[in-house]
Amino acid sequence: MTSEVVEDECEFYSKAEKYWKDVPATVDGMLGGYGHISSIDINSSRKFLQRFLRDGPNRTGTTRALDCGAGIGRITKRLLLPLFKTVDMVDVTEDFLTKARSYLGAEGRRVRNYYRCGLQDFSPEPNSYDVIWIQWVIGHLTDNHLSDFLRRCRAGLRPNGIVVIKDNMAQEGVIMDDVDSSVCRELAVVRRLIRSAGLQLLAEERQENFPDEIYHVYTFAMR
């Protein structure tokens, strides 16, 4: 429970926002010095996502995606824009969204909106997205705010749309990181928060081939 490790909610958010303002607007900055794992990450995410985009009666559409905690657009550029007609990006750090406009290159013209907002205050446009992708950012939300945000994401889905979370998982409990003001939750806690938002878990997968010294990373698809 984040209530056990987050003493001051306002400080929790403001400290995180300050931390990211000092992070370089590069792929290496987005990945905390682990820029070399970007291709492994993207390739795994693409395989995970494509199982929902294949032909079939419940096929997820490819019209519009939302990248949450988008940073400079690493996931938008390499995962979402190649698969979707348009993408929206949301991030709390204005410098990252400014950098994204050049980083994305010509394909960036298919990014419709750059939202500068923390996810605790962000509401996806209802009935608008085929995929809402949330990667390495849920640790910056308290339990209540994460559950509420996922509930808003559910309302933002088009028919057969999915919400995807990809993030670090703790071995046990909830661990606070005072450096970037974030928490890392164990699997059971994340599953519980998904259920509390009224979402059904469709698929769950552990990321392979990441460095041994980092947290285990899991991907969840839900609707």
CA distances, 118 to each of 137, 149, 168 (Å): 10, 11, 19
- Binding-site positions read 69, 74, 91-93, 119-120, 135
Report helix angle 143-156 to 187-196, nearest 10. Answer: 50
Task: Write the CB contacts of 100 (distance below 8 Å, at least 6 apart in sequence).
Answer: 70, 71, 72, 73, 76, 89, 108, 111, 114
Other C-beta atoms lying within 10 Å of the C-beta of residue 54 = 8
Residue 83 near residue 49, CB atoms below 8 Å: yes
Give the integer Cα–Cα distance in Å for 14 and 107. Answer: 33
- Binding-site positions for S-adenosyl-L-methionine read 69, 74, 91-93, 119-120, 135
H helix runs in the chain, sequence order: 9-21, 27-30, 38-53, 74-75, 94-103, 143-156, 187-196
